[in-house]
Structure 1
Amino acid sequence: MSILVLFLVGAAVGVTTVLFGFGGGFVTVPIILFVDAARGPDALRIAIATSALVMLVNAVVATSATRRSVLAHLRGRRSLFVLLALGGAVGGVGALFVPDVVPRWGFVAYIGITVVDLLLRPGFLSWRGAERRPKTPSGRPLPDGWGIPIGGIASFLGVGGSVMTVPMMRRSGMDMSVATSLANPLTVAIAVPAMLVASAFGSAVASAPGLVGTVDVVSALALLAGAIPVIVLLRRRPPRIPDAVHSWAYLALLVVAATAVAVTG
């Protein structure tokens, strides 16, 4: 796959980062899996590690451009961030040493279960749960105790955590625009330890030219070159999307990502 194609995919990743809180995992894992398919069983580990780097940088850029009034929802949540990071480290280690079929089909199953949940359980799609969803956020939509499982699953599969955090925040009463914006700083907490693990220990699992640990550096840079300008632009001039359309688009993107990984497998 050419650098130009990766650059264009990166631009699409920039859009998903801003609009859906996906720092890149749901797009980059299938793409890097395709790019590095020739590396055999190591391809998925490389995809997950590269995704962690792309997600980290994109999430940092998006967070830095997010309004402080929005980020205030996470004020005082140090314990949650610590537990997300701990889970991210554990999941990152696990991804290095399990058979590649486990995270590959775990990715598909994880998204499939989430899609069914979002469709059937009230509170995410506005037309299904508007009457039950509180009009204003209440309590703590993300209890601290969820930090380790969210971080662990997200880094193990290379998905960033937004597929769990966005629906939980949405069901607490947040608009999609707020929930997806808050997913970015939460992704940073998960992606930092996952990337460090992949960089420090990945070379013992997969070693080849162009890799740092299990990170495909060239592909990651091409994706980031396309993503970062788009993130900055959309944060400065955010599009106005009806809440119901926003939630359905989120759901559709999950289906596309799961299908791409299943087909590549």
Structure 2
Amino acid sequence: MDVVALIGIGLLTGVTTVLFGFGGGFVAVPVVVWADAALSADAMRVATATSALVMVVNAGFATAVTPRRVLVALRGSGGLLVLLAAGAAIGASAGRLAPATLVRWAFVGYVALTIVDLLLRPGFLRPRTREEARAAAPRQLPALLGAPIGAIAAFLGVGGSVMTVPAARRAGHTMHVATALANPLTLAIALPATVVSLLGAALPTSGGTHVHLVGLVDVGAAAALLVGGLPVIAVLRRRPPRIPDRIYARAYVGLLALVALAMLVSGDQG
């Protein structure tokens, strides 16, 4: 894929990082699979590793520019962050060994199941009434969720927001807060996953692929995505759009559906 196209898609990763807490992972995986289709089955491994690096930078920057009054909701969540990181290290290591086809279909399957869950199970699409909001303050995410969320997210290269955003919303947070909190949680997952990916042995590539790997990371694709994404994060964090909560939640579900479709299309082309 042309570098200019990757930079353009990087703009989208910046938007999804701020608005949906994705850190770029859900966008980066299908895009890098498409960009590195010359690697054949190994493109999925490279995509998940490259996605992890993109998420470290995007989520770290988004967290740094998030207002402290929002991040205070994570106070006392040290155990959750540690277990997210531990699970991520395990999931990233497993992803290196698993068949690429398994990772691809696990990605699509998980996103599809998540969409069904968000549509059918109460608590995500329907915002709380004023009476409900006054009756119960937002709750913290259980620390025990950290290890499975981290493992699944790192295995699939998605950063965990597809699990943490719905969980935070059902814990009583608005979409604006839930998506903002997803970025530091994504950082806890993406950092160990990136270390595992960078330190691993690089894949053998032919001279005609034009893919430059460090470990399993396509550094050229990652750089182009970040060039496009970081300025958008800075602008949107400074001037976030005002989106009604109900529309915000529906847009989140719609974006998940587009990502699943993009993965299916990129797989067919690969």
TM-score (norm 1): 0.95
- Return the letter of the residue paired with 1:16: T
Tell me what 2:213 maps to: 211
Counterpart of 1:80 in structure 2 is 80
User: How far is 1:2 from its partner?
Assistant: 0.9
Name the Cα RMSD after superposition: 1.5
Residue 232 (structure 2) aligns with: 230
Per-residue CA deviations over 1:142-186 (Å, capped at 9, x if unaligned) read 101000000000000001000000001101111100000000000
Taking the TM superposition and a 5 Å limit, the aligned residue runs for 1:20-35 are 20-35=20-35
Q: Which amino acid aligns with 1:73?
A: A
Whether the aligned pair in 2 keeps the contact of 1:85 and 1:189 (CA below 8 Å) is yes
2:208 equivalent in structure 1: none
Match of 1:182? 181
Q: Structure 1: which 5+ runs fail to align? A: none
1:114 is matched by which residue type in structure 2?
T
2:115 match:
115
- State the 1:137 CA deviation: 3.6
Q: Corresponding residue for 1:71?
A: 71
How far apart, CA to CA, are the structure 2 residues paired with 1:45 and 1:26? 14
Alpha-carbon shift at residue 25 of structure 1 (Å): 1.1
* Residue in structure 1 matched with residue 3 of structure 2 by the alignment: 3
1:147-226 correspondence runs (5 A): 147-203=146-202, 206-208=203-205, 210-226=212-228
Indicate the residue corresponding to 1:99 in structure 2.
Answer: 99
1:170-209 CA-to-partner distances (Å, cap 9, x unmatched) read 0111110000000000000000000000010142xx1445
2:241 is matched with which residue: 215, 235, 239? Answer: 239
Amino acid at match of 1:66: T
Give the conservation status (yes or no) of the 8 Å contact 1:133–1:173. no
Q: TM-score, normalised by structure 2?
A: 0.93
Tell me if the contact between 2:25 and 2:55 (Cα under 8 Å) persists in the aligned partners.
yes
Is 1:44 aligned to residue 69 of structure 2? no
Pair 1:96–1:138, CA change in 2 (3 A): same
Unaligned runs of 5+ in 2: 206-210
3-state SS, counterpart of residue 71 of structure 1: helix
